[in-house]
Structure 1
Amino acid sequence: MTAALDTHLSDLLGRFAARRDLGALGADAEGRYRLELDGWLEVRIFQSGGDLFLEGSPGRLPAEDPREPDRIADLLREQVRDLEDQEEVLSLDPEGEDLILFRRLQASGLRLDDFERALESFANRLERWTRRLAADRTVPSPVAAPMHIIFP
């Protein structure tokens, strides 16, 4: 059954690549297909059992940031809130500081149009999280506002 599902994934991605004039897509040694969207956003696609996974890395947690526990709590609250409307899940890579966004799709019966809609939605969420994490890194540390003294 796994071979049939792997063939389905390969066929699905072959039809996707043909529709988008991407040329042949090949899996790496781990069986993951990599797509680069808009020249900078990487989506990895792989299959595990009867499920197809879309996966991307929006960024990593900042090292030695004194606000890190608060930042993680904020990210988790945002993720839980988004679960009501979104199917993507944000998690922490257990082997590092990278955040991983993923979405699970049932592989059998997945049509090309459904796959493209899921990929587009996933890419939009990945871009949003990537920009959100990048903005967090560029926010300067809070400093006291300058004091203005006005003399009569």
Structure 2
Amino acid sequence: MTQKSELSEEAMKLLKKLENKPAAEIMNSEALRVVRAAWPEAFHVSSPKPLKVGIHKDMESEGLIPPHIISTALNFFTTLERYLEAVKPGAARINLSGQTAGRVRLREAVDAEIKLYRQSEAHTRGRTRVVINRIKLLSVKKAS
């Protein structure tokens, strides 16, 4: 597994800066940047894969990053639209080294779809939503 000495110099500086901050003051992107530096195989923002259930325990057991930073990063990463779109029934979940570690269950995929819908709901209020097969269309709300 990864050793603390293997973190990049930039990640070590950022981690040192974040370790002294209260959890409420840590920016999501800062926390995720540190986590990505520690486990690059598991945290691909451009093409995320569902993470192993309980991966936070594995991360904490390695002792690289304080639990409050791990929590902030995971909460941010797992609510990204791309991540939620990857959570499909039967999709492979991955561990910290990017290896398959289980499969997404139907209920988990349904929960991800609900989260996606709720995230988009605020942006689509007042617009007409039309779904044709799997294509979602929104009307454009013209300014008066």
- TM-score category (smaller protein): under 0.3
TM-score w.r.t. the length of structure 2 is 0.26
- Structure of greater relative contact order (alpha carbons < 8 Å, 6+ residues apart): 1
Q: Is the strand fraction higher in 1 or 2?
A: 1
